[in-house]
A and B are shown apart, each in its own frame.
Chain A
Amino acid sequence: MESIIFYILAGANTTLRIFFVTLIFAIPLGILFAIGKIAGGKIIKGILDIYTWLLRGTPLMLQIFFVFYGIPQLLGIKLDRDLAAYIAFIINYTAYFTEIFRAGILSIEKGQFEASKALGMSYPQTMRRIVIPQAIKRVLPPVGNEFITLIKDTSLVMVIAIPDIMRNTKEIVSREASPETFIIAAVIYLILTYGIVFLFSKTEKRLSYYD
């Protein structure tokens, strides 16, 4: 039993690694692309629209396969499994964060932009100091949902044989015929997702100082 738990926890390590690497890249990129969609020229907007349409319109599993098997064949390179997973998750989640932040920024009243401009602030200053801090508070609920979905989505990396929670669980179950392993896996996922819910409700409270 103990060894089962340790084996699955080793998988949880992979899950968390993908989770954090994805977020570290996808959030800043999502903010940047959101600004690109709002303030960029026709070409930038067009490219970003196609990007978010493609990535949100196809299954993440397909994208993982494509990055791991497709790209190496197309480009004649070798891609490490982990790197392939990171790339697929980052480009997929960036697309979702782009749309969330775009909606968040667009929800900020025009008067905030006008007051900033009237004070002589530049567009980047206005974004960084006035608009994005307020937008982040507004998008907290959908971003929290994405975090939870991401934890669960990481289980897809088993399709390219990365030893995450799900793959290690499946391995134990088929080797030792111990269905209770599923419950252990479920509990670990629940602990992780509860942690996220908890952190987000804390953050929402902390940011409610100006309601």
Chain B
Amino acid sequence: MKVVNLKNIEKSFGTLKALNGVDLVINKGEIVSIIGPSGSGKSTLLRCINHLEIIEQGTIDIFEMPIANAKEGEKTKYISEKELRKIIQRIGMVFQGFNLFPHKSVLENIMEAQLTVKKTPPAEAKAIALELLHKVGLDDKEKAYPSQLSGGQKQRVAIARALAMQPEIMLFDEPTSALDPELVGEVLQVIKKLAQEHMTMIVVTHEMAFAREISNRVIFMDEGKIMMDGKPDDIFVNPTHPRIKTFIERMI
């Protein structure tokens, strides 16, 4: 199944073209890393997939259902809010800045959308939350509040919160960029675990070794475009394009 299918999408902020004609197909089970210089449109690309940004050109299909359709000179047509929410809840997203709900405990953070969106019975939602806390290695933190956690712990809670909705694809936007170096490993470990379970994922990251290890596909973005899309070795071992080569040499 084509989990994500973007055709020729464009997105501008004022006069700046953050995405300038991006085509991208993500198939079920693929683990795709997106790398590229800062400002190249990586976050914007992820955010277009789950409707945090509205596109101006192109089409978006998610789970092989049309979501957005923009024609030259016309306002983008999206499906209804309600239908969009049904799709979005099947997409998990993890942000660079965690965005946990500070007024809710760790357990409540993971239960929240299960209760409000999925209408899961509270006992079941709690069981799922505890199981996920175990999975991300935070068994003892269920009662803690986000402010009492380290960055690495916060991000693991955020991953658990997204997983609680049983997403069919996970989007990670630089999940370790806000972390102290010694806390990066514990978060990457969790993402690796998901990769081993063949979760479909798109991971924007600056962790080159990690990208190479977990992905079966790496995308290099530059100036709002996909400059290269290939197997990890094609990009990391024999980067043909000089820009990619410079970038990777700088990152490693």
In whole angstroms, what is the CA distance A170 to B103 when docked?
48
Q: Are B85 and A120 in contact (CB under 8 A)?
A: yes
Q: Which residues of B contact A137 (CB under 8 A)?
A: 103
Q: Are A133 and B103 in contact (CB under 8 A)?
A: yes
Q: Which one of A117, A118, A134 has the highest number of Cβ atoms from chain B below 10 Å of its Cβ?
A: A118
Q: Are B51 and A117 in contact (CB under 8 A)?
A: yes
Scan residues 93-142 of chain B and give those whose CB is less than 8 A from a CB of chain A: 93, 95, 97-104, 112-113, 116-118
Q: Are A118 and B112 in contact (CB under 8 A)?
A: no
Q: Which residues of A contact B6 (CB under 8 A)?
A: none
Range of interface residues on B (Cβ < 8 Å): 20 to 34
In whole angstroms, what is the CA distance A137 to B145 when docked?
16
Q: Which residues of A contact B98 (CB under 8 A)?
A: 111
In whole angstroms, what is the CA distance A133 to B104 when docked?
10
Q: How many A residues touch B, CB cutoff 8 Å?
A: 21
In the complex, B88 has a CB within 8 A of chain A: yes
Selected from A112, A122, A129, A133, the residue in CB contact (under 8 A) with B85 is A122
Selected from B97, B103, B147, B161, the residue in CB contact (under 8 A) with A119 is B161
In the complex, B187 has a CB within 8 A of chain A: no
In whole angstroms, what is the CA distance A125 to B89 when docked?
14
Q: Are B85 and A115 in contact (CB under 8 A)?
A: no
In the complex, A209 has a CB within 8 A of chain B: yes
Q: Are B95 and A115 in contact (CB under 8 A)?
A: yes
List 8 tightest A-B contacts by C-beta distance, closest first.
Answer: A120-B89, A119-B113, A115-B99, A111-B99, A118-B93, A120-B117, A210-B145, A125-B116
